[in-house]
Structure formats: C-alpha cells, structure tokens
Amino acid sequence: MSLTNEFTKGIIRENPLFRLLLGMCPSLAVTTSVDNGLGMGVAFSVVLLASNIVISAMRSIIPNSVRIPAYIVIVATFVTMIDLLMHAFTPALYTALGIFIPLIVVNCIILGRAEAFSGKNPVLPSIMDALGMGAGFTLALVLVSSFREVLGAGTFFGQTILPENIPAIMMILPPGGFITLGCLLALLNKIQKKTA
Amino acid sequence: MQEYFIIIISAVFINNIVLSQFLGICPFMGVSKKLSASLGMGGAVSFVLVVAGFITWALNTYLLTPLGIGYLQTIAFILVIASLVQFVEMVIKKFSPSLYKALGIYLPLITTNCAVLGVAIINIQKEFSLGKVMVHSLSHAAGFTLALVLMSGIRERLEDADIPESMRGVPIALIVAALMSISFLGFSGLI
C-alpha cells in the first residue's frame, strides 16, 4: 500500500467518526461551537501522531502480552503533555474543553489505531495513518459543530450569520448533539447506498 | 444530609452521565440492544466506577497531592483503572464463571469507558470529601445503568418498527437518545 493511500483512507473511506463510529463521546460533547470542535480535533491529532510514532518505533521491544498497558502509558504521557501545553497557551480553549482533554486518553480511536496499525507497521506509514485519521476526525468534528453552532447559536466561528429569533438553543444543548450526529450518519448511509 | 441528597438527584437525573455529559456513549450504543446484556454491563461498570472512585480519590489525596505531582493524575488514574478492571475480571472468572461468560468482551472494554475516568476526574475537580466521593460515584453509576436500561427497553421495541432504511441501527438510536436527553432536560429545574 502506498503512503498516500494510508493518508487518504482516514479522511473518507475509514473516517473514524462516521464510518468506524469511534470517539463518539468527545464528538458529541465539545461540538457546541466550531472553535471547540477544531481545537479538540487538533489536540487529538497531535496526541494520535505522537503516540503512533512512538508505538510504531517501539513495536519490536514491547512484549505482546503487556502491549495494551504499554500503549495506554504512552498515550497518557502525550495527553498529559497536551493538557499542560493547552493550560499554558490556550487557557480559554482549555476551560471550554475541560474534562475532555484528559479523556483523550480513553478515546477508542487512539488505542484502536495502535492495535490495528502502528503496532504492526513501520514509522513512516504510521505517521501517514495518524495524519489521515487525525484529519478525518477533525473534519468530522468541524462538520458536526458547524451544524450545531449555526442552528443553535446563529453564529459561525463566533460571527453572527442568522437573525436573532431563528436559532434554536436546543441544538447547542445535549439533545442537539445526538440529533445532529444521528441525521448526519443517516445522510451518509443514504449517499453511500446511492453511489454503491 | 441535604447536600448528599442534592448530589444524588443531580448526578442521576440532571447531570446524567450519558444523556447530558456524554460520557460512556460507546457502551450506551453498543450494549443497549438487549435488556439482559445492558443490566449486566450496568452492574459491571457501576462496580468498577465506585471502586475506582474510591481508589483514585485515596491515591490523589495521600500520594499525588502531598508529593506535589498532581500533573501525573491522568497517567496514575488510567493505570489504576486498567489494573482494577483486570483484577475484577480475574475475580469474576474465578468465583462466577457464568457471570463472566455473560459479560464477555464488555468486561475488558470497561478500561476505555470514559465514564469511569471521567467520574474519577470530576470527583477530584469538585474537591469532594470521601463520603461525597462515594455517593457521587454511586449515583453516577446508577444514572449510567438507568440510561442504559431505558435505552435497551426502547431499542428492543425498535426492532419491529418500520424505520427508513438509511436510519436503521445507530442513526435511529442517536435520535432516540436525543429524545431521552430532551426529557431529562426537564429535570434541570429540580434543584
């Protein structure tokens, strides 16, 4: 498989959120505004990239029987770094994402990629895999949060685009997250059936 | 006494861990197809959640804080939870093979259930005393089980419903969750 292929597969064909249904907790919780969705996507991608590189580089010295605890420690290390960095440099985003930054450590996508890809492949393909998956997840978060911010708050990236009486506040409350993701998944199913 | 009551009501209904805090969505979607499986999952998660709540609180109060290494919280907590799940798995396997069989793959998956780590972190953030930590963890566990059981009751009936083809499976489950979430919003004026 070529390197470009490793990169593009994560964006549409194996999109972690829409196709593999992984990482639903953060994608429902932090997508109340595009800023938050984008921030979460970037933080997640950095952790995924770093842990994919390390896991892939160490794959021959990690004993098979303790690989899951080893992966978790590696991922947790990078999550702690991101947590401290965001606390220092992006305090507003840090407050908005809150508990979901430390919770990147239990995001199934990262452990899933370690188990399915970087634990078995050399460093370079693992980097491409992480970049693709990270971009795919970020795109998905931005898509979900665009719908929710526009419909719920009438703004996009903080810019007002809808008149005051149109937005339905429910879309940025918890139910809006479930509705948006449900409708998007149904829509993708429909499109897939048409093209198939 | 009243304080504890407020914690219970708020954790079970108002800030329900699944429907308003979005923690533990994966088992909520994955294990809610059958009522019996969802009860077993609810029980297993509740047990791990409460014990993990206690251990992580003790770890944070007596080890991490006195040593000034609070930034290691995430790593320390996830290790505690992972080994706890492993331990629970061994105990259940030894003493009740039938329950072990019923829970199957879901038992090891509790490690990556964000509800467990999430509640442990919230416990620390709110600076609860030990009594409150136990009540808080227990009520969140009850809220998780409640949401899971309600959801599986609805999904068992959805099996026979006439649903548009592209909505079947996860999409309709998410819409159902949205409706449940709206009704749980009604509790928000309670306290």
What is the ipTM for the molecules in this complex? Answer: 0.83
Instruction: Provide, as residue numbers in chain B, all residues whose Cβ is less than 8 Å from the Cβ of A76.
Output: 74-75, 78-79
Q: In this model, does residue A88 exceed pLDDT 90?
A: yes
Split at pLDDT 50, 70, 90, the class of A1 is: low
pLDDT of residue A66: 80
Which range is least confidently modeled, B81-85, B125-129, B187-191? Answer: B187-191
Q: What is the pLDDT of residue B72?
A: 85
**Which residues from B are below 8 Å from A84, CB to CB?**
71
The strand pairing partners of A156, in sequence order, are A159
Residue B105 has pLDDT above 70, yes or no: no
Chain B residues in contact with A104 by the CB 8 A cut-off are none
Q: Is B68 left (phi over 0), alpha (psi -120 to 50) or beta?
A: left
pTM, entire model? 0.86
B93 pLDDT exceeds 70? yes
For residue B73, list chain A residues with Cβ-Cβ distance below 8 A. Answer: 102
CB pair distance less than 8 Å for A21 and B29:
yes
When scoring B166, B168, B188 by the number of chain A Cβ atoms within 10 A, the one with the most, hence best to mutate, is B166
The whole-number pLDDT of residue A196 equals 66
**pLDDT (tens digit per residue) in B58-87:** 999 898 888 888 888 888 888 888 888 888
Q: To the nearest whole number, what is the mean pLDDT of chain A?
A: 86
Q: How many residues does chain B have?
A: 191
Q: For residue B32, is pLDDT > 70?
A: yes
Q: How far is A60 from chain B (nearest CA, A)?
A: 23
Rg of chain B, C-alpha, whole Å: 18
Q: What is the pLDDT of residue A54?
A: 92
SS3 breakdown of chain B: % helix, strand, coil, rounded to 5? 80, 0, 20
DSSP readout, A44-74?
Answer: HHHHHHHHHHHHHHTTTTS-GGGHHHHHHHH
Taking each helix axis from N to C end, the angle separating B130-158 and B2-9, rounded to the nearest 10 degrees, works out to 30
Q: pLDDT-based confidence at A7, cuts 50/70/90? A: confident
Radius of gyration of chain A (CA): 18
Please indicate whether, in this complex, the C-beta atoms of B167 and A186 are within 8 angstroms of each other: yes
Contact state of A182 with B117 under an 8 Å Cβ cutoff:
no
Work out the mean pLDDT of chain B and round it to a whole number.
85
Distance from CA of A47 to the nearest CA of B (A): 14
pLDDT interval class at A10 (50, 70, 90):
confident
**pLDDT tens string A109-153:** 888 888 888 888 888 889 988 999 999 999 999 999 998 888 888
pLDDT of residue B139: 93
Contacts of B74 in chain A (CB under 8 A): 76, 79-80, 83, 102, 105
- C-alpha angle B148/B39/B24, rounded to 5°? 40
